């Protein structure tokens, strides 16, 4: 039975963390997910700025006001955001844990000052500088996480919500080095929709877009957690299967091919259609370069098309890299 797919600046103390974050992998999220997450962070940080102004007036300037001594790490807007329902766009960031540590340090320094000043104890420049340094460290890390998240939009295909070709090149180079270093195998596969032009001609380009989004959803739903899927261009996709040899790769790709074939895709107005795809695959590290491996998978795809489409076809020649 068929199933249906429905429609900054930071101090030197955090410099190494910022570098690690910038070099880390970009996880693909749907553009609307990224924008919603960034919006929630911007609102929290704007509220944090106003909160900090009130903190200075109440504590440093000794004005009457809210008690800012206890639980700053959770009661301030930044703390409420951090300890709340944080989108995975941020919680998965390599610096997210460090952000909480910076928040705790900022809270500790703030509490120390809040206890000293109202009681008449003189506030040393060292105490205040230490507090403001933690504020700058925290803000710098927030800016880096926000920047990385904005950058994630560059690596996402807006139609399908999966990784795009810009993301692919860096990932495949990294996977190639990892496979060589660890002595493991990796398979890459080119996927092309069969008779896609006819879909556009018969049903319209909006239906064609729904088919591409539907196929991406099918593939993502069936792939293993560590597999990677990219929109290569047009109606073509590329899959990277880490820790996978050619024999296992064929089994994985055959399962994906069958799932595409048996799944009806909603194209709007109460209509759904079935589509097929042809797969060509090759080993990633059996060639001199990543580009050579992609070419081999693409040639295997072309041969699969000539053999009748809707099939999984292996590269016939393995390189020397």
Phi, psi of 168 (to 5 degrees): -60, -45
Tally the domains of the chain. Answer: 2
Check residue 2 and give its pLDDT. Answer: 45
Give 112's pLDDT tier (boundaries 50, 70, 90): confident
pLDDT digits (tens, 9 = 90+) for 254-309: 999 999 999 999 999 999 999 999 999 999 998 999 999 999 999 999 999 999 99
Q: Is the CB of residue 193 less than 8 Å from the CB of residue 212?
A: yes
CATH number of the domain bearing residue 128: 1.20.120.30
Domain boundary among the residues 126, 155, 184 is at 155
Check residue 1 and give its pLDDT. Answer: 43
Phi, psi of 89 (to 5 degrees): -50, -40
Residue 1 falls within a domain, yes or no? no
Query: Which residues form the catalytic set?
Result: 235
More confident residue, 226 or 264: 264
Percent of the chain with pLDDT over 90: 54
More confident residue, 263 or 116: 263
User: Does residue 31 share a domain with residue 141?
Assistant: yes
CA dist., res. 201 & res. 96, Å (int):
47
The H or E element containing residue 229 is strand 228-233
User: Does residue 302 share a domain with residue 212?
Assistant: yes
Task: Enter the pTM of the model.
Answer: 0.64
How many residues comprise the chain? Answer: 321
- Say yes or no to pLDDT of 89 above 80: yes
Domain boundary among the residues 121, 155, 189 is at 155
Domain boundary among the residues 104, 125, 155 is at 155
User: Does residue 151 share a domain with residue 173?
Assistant: no
Q: Which of 15-29, 170-184, 291-305 has the lowest mean pLDDT?
A: 15-29
User: Does residue 183 share a domain with residue 149?
Assistant: no
pLDDT digits (tens, 9 = 90+) for 189-208: 999 999 999 999 999 999 99
Average pLDDT over residues 137-145: 92
Check residue 25 and give its pLDDT. Answer: 39
Check residue 174 and give its pLDDT. Answer: 94
User: Does residue 143 share a domain with residue 16?
Assistant: yes
Domain holding 21, by residue range, is: 8-155
CATH number of the domain bearing residue 286: 3.30.70.270
- Dihedral Cα 134, 137, 141, 144, nearest 10 deg: 160
User: Does residue 209 share a domain with residue 142?
Assistant: no
- DSSP state letter for 315: -
| 125 contact partners, CB below 8 Å, separation of at least 6 | none
Check residue 70 and give its pLDDT. Answer: 53
Residue 227 falls within a domain, yes or no? yes
Give 63's pLDDT tier (boundaries 50, 70, 90): low
């Amino acid at each position: 039975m068929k199933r249906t797919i429905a429609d900054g600046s930071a101090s030197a103390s955090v410099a190494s963390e910022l570098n690690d974050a910038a070099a880390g992998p970009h996880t693909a999220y749907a553009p609307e997910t990224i924008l919603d997450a960034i919006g929630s962070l911007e609102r929290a940080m704007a509220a944090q700025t106003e909160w900090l102004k009130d903190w200075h007036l109440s504590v440093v300037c000794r004005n009457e006001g809210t008690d800012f001594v206890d639980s700053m790490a959770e009661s301030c807007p930044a703390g409420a955001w951090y300890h709340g329902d944080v989108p995975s766009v941020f919680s998965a960031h390599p610096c997210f844990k460090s952000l909480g540590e910076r928040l705790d340090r900022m809270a500790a320094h703030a509490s120390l000052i809040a206890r000293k000043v109202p009681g008449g104890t003189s506030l040393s420049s060292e105490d205040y500088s230490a507090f403001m340094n933690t504020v700058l460290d925290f803000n710098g890390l927030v800016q880096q996480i926000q920047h990385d998240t904005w950058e994630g939009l560059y690596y996402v295909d807006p139609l399908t919500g999966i990784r795009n070709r810009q993301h692919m090149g860096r990932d495949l180079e990294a996977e190639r080095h990892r496979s060589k270093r660890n002595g493991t195998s990796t398979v890459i596969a080119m996927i092309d929709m069969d008779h896609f032009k006819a879909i556009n001609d018969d049903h319209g380009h909006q239906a064609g877009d729904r088919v591409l989004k539907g196929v991406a959803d099918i593939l993502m739903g069936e792939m293993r957690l560590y597999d990677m899927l990219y929109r290569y261009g047009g109606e073509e996709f590329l899959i990277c299967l880490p820790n996978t040899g050619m024999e296992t790769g064929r089994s994985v790709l055959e399962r994906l091919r069958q799932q595409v074939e048996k799944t009806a895709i909603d194209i709007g107005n109460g209509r759904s259609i079935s589509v097929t795809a042809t797969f060509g695959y090759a080993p990633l590290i059996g060639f001199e370069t990543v580009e050579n491996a992609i070419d081999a998978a693409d040639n295997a795809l072309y041969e699969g098309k000539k053999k009748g489409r809707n099939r999984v076809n292996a590269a016939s020649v393995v390189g020397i890299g």
